[in-house]
Each structure stands twice: as structure tokens, then as C-alpha cells.
């Protein structure tokens, strides 16, 4: 099977024009099949402030009401997505910008929660692997914004980490998939405030031990739990690390590798 890199770029890099340009240059240089999934950064929050649309965040999750959905769709699937695509074209990477509604690429449903109403937040149901495979076969590089749809005409705001993971799981039947979460830190850290304390490899047994000793800070636990779910679904390897070190992450010289053995 052919290799496929699915690379997710985190919000803080998107907010920094210089770092984003540098990352996209490195991403464009990655050979073979690749998909980019991007988050939203802080631009949607700034736009909401300018438009006097109050923002509600509970436990770090944005509540997406109807007005906020308009803003995140404009910002994520509009400006940010097309800005990234244009920069990739500049670096000779023939990219195509998509959200979940395009080509029925990612089908989702409105999140159901026993207590909270998250508004128009989507949880992924299925990936249109035929469409994505056909784009890759034409040497196009899909760039996904974190917006999905329910096939009933409703757009949904969806977590970019989750989209990357679901793409990786869905496409692992057709490709040998490596999923890379790139953000501002150097990997999974023993000390959240010390970037030199990267844990190079985590497998299920070492993860259990680190969690029991409370060596992994709380914010990283959902990412790691999701990583092991993806590995069980056929994803070959998951790498977490610094966006500026993309080539090193791919070659295994930096970051944290999450493996199933």
C-alpha cells in the first residue's frame, strides 16, 4: 500500500503569519500522498468581538450558536483555508481546499450530550474515502477546514483533531497512514513547562504507567486516548510534535511517536 501523511496544524501556528508560511513551505516539500487539516486559530474569536457576537466557551470548548457558526464558517472554510491553499500553490504544491460539505467529504451529526447543548457542533459519522482517494490519485493535496455537514443542509463546527483522526482511520484501508499532530510544543512532555522533556515513544503500557503516576498533563490525555483508538483502527503511527520540525517529525528524529506495541 502507498504511504499517506495526514498532518494536522494547530491554532497557534495559524495565528503567526511567519511560522505558518515556514510550515507550509516544509509541508509542500513532503513527498508522496499528503493531506493537511487545519484548526481555526484566534481569528474567529476576534471577528466575533468585532461583530459583537458573544462567545461562550465551556471546559475549553466553544459553544457554536447560529451566529457563531456563520463566523467560523467564513473564517475557517473561507479566509484561513484559501490563504493556506494559495501559499501551498506558491510552493508548487497543487492543493485543493475543502470542508466536509464539499463532495460530501465528511458527514457528521449534531452532538448529543445529556446535559450540555454545544449548539452546531458536529461529531463525525463517515468519510468519503472514494472522493479523497480520487483527489490523491490526481496528485492533488486536500486541505481540510474544520467544518462538516449533516446532509440535511446543516453545516457543523467540528474539532480539527477529530477530523484528522477520522480521515486517518477511514483511509487506513487504502493507504499506510501516518498521522502527525503538529503544534507549538516539541511533543508529549513530562513537564508541560519544559520543552526539553519530550517523551520519545509512548505505547499502551508506558501510557498506562505515565497516567497512573500523573506524569502526563490533563490537556494531552484526550489526544492520546484518541491516538490509541486510531491505532486500533489501522493507522500505522501517530506523531505529536513541533510544527517547525516537520521534516524531523516525519523522519522520526523529533517529537513523540505513539505506537501500538
Beta strands 141-144 and 122-127 are unpaired
What pLDDT, in 10s, does the model give residues 153-170? 999 999 999 999 999 999
- Tell how far CA 255 is from the center of its chain: 16
Backbone phi and psi for residue 158, each to the nearest 5 degrees, phi listed first = -130, 140
Mean pLDDT of 207-222: 85
pLDDT level of residue 257 (50, 70, 90 thresholds):
very high
Res 142: pLDDT? 98
* pLDDT higher than threshold 90 for residue 147: yes
Map residue 237 onto helix, strand or coil: strand
CATH number for the domain that contains residue 104 = 3.40.1160.10
Predicted local distance difference test score (pLDDT) of residue 222: 81
Q: Tell me the pLDDT tens digit for each residue of 28-69.
A: 999 999 999 999 878 999 999 999 999 888 777 779 999 999
Mean pLDDT, the chain, rounded, equals: 93
Q: Are 141 and 89 in contact (CB under 8 A)?
A: no
User: Cell triple for residue 35?
Assistant: 493531506
| pLDDT surpassing 90 at residue 106 | yes
When comparing pLDDT for 115 and 166, which is higher? 166
Please tell me the predicted confidence (pLDDT) of residue 64: 95
For residue 260, what pLDDT band results from cuts at 50, 70 and 90?
confident
Measured CA distances, 130 to 134, 136, 137, 167, 217 (Å): 6, 10, 10, 12, 38
Q: How confident is the model at residue 149 (pLDDT cuts 50, 70, 90)?
A: very high
Residue 11 belongs to domain spanning:
3-258
pLDDT in tens, 226-248: 899 899 999 999 999 999 999 99
Say how many CA atoms lie within 13 Å of 21 toward its Cβ.
Answer: 4
Domain total of the chain:
1
Residue spans of alpha helices (H) in 158-234: 160-171, 204-212, 221-232
C-alpha angle 89/182/88, rounded to 5°? 0
Which run of H or E residues covers position 46? helix 43-50
Amino acid at each position: 500500500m502507498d504511504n499517506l501523511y495526514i498532518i494536522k496544524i494547530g491554532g497557534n501556528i495559524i495565528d503567526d503569519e511567519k511560522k505558518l508560511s515556514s510550515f507550509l513551505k516544509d509541508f509542500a516539500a513532503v513527498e508522496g500522498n499528503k493531506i493537511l487539516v487545519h484548526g481555526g486559530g484566534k481569528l474567529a474569536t476576534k471577528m466575533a468581538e468585532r461583530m459583537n457576537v458573544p462567545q461562550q466557551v465551556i471546559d475549553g470548548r466553544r459553544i457554536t450558536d447560529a451566529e457563531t457558526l456563520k463566523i467560523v464558517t467564513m473564517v475557517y472554510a473561507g479566509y484561513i483555508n484559501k490563504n493556506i491553499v494559495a501559499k501551498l500553490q506558491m510552493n508548487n504544491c497543487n492543493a485543493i481546499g475543502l470542508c466536509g460539505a464539499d463532495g460530501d467529504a465528511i458527514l457528521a451529526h449534531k452532538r448529543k450530550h445529556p446535559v450540555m447543548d454545544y449548539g452546531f457542533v458536529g461529531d463525525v459519522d463517515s468519510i468519503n474515502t472514494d472522493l479523497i482517494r480520487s483527489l490523491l490519485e490526481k496528485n492533488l493535496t486536500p486541505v481540510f477546514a474544520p467544518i462538516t455537514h449533516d446532509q440535511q443542509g446543516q453545516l457543523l463546527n467540528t474539532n480539527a483533531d477529530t477530523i484528522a483522526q477520522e480521515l486517518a482511520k477511514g483511509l487506513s484501508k487504502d493507504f499506510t497512514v501516518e498521522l502527525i499532530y503538529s503544534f507549538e510544543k516539541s511533543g508529549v512532555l513530562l513537564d508541560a513547562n519544559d520543552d526539553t522533556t519530550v517523551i520519545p515513544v509512548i505505547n499502551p503500557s508506558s501510557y498506562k504507567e505515565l497516567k497512573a503516576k500523573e506524569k502526563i498533563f490533563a490537556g494531552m490525555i484526550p489526544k492520546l486516548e484518541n491516538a490509541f483508538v486510531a491505532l486500533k483502527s489501522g493507522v500505522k503511527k501517530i506523531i505529536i510534535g513541533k510544527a517547525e520540525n516537520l521534516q524531523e517529525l516525519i523522519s522520526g528524529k523529533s517529537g513523540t511517536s505513539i505506537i501500538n506495541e
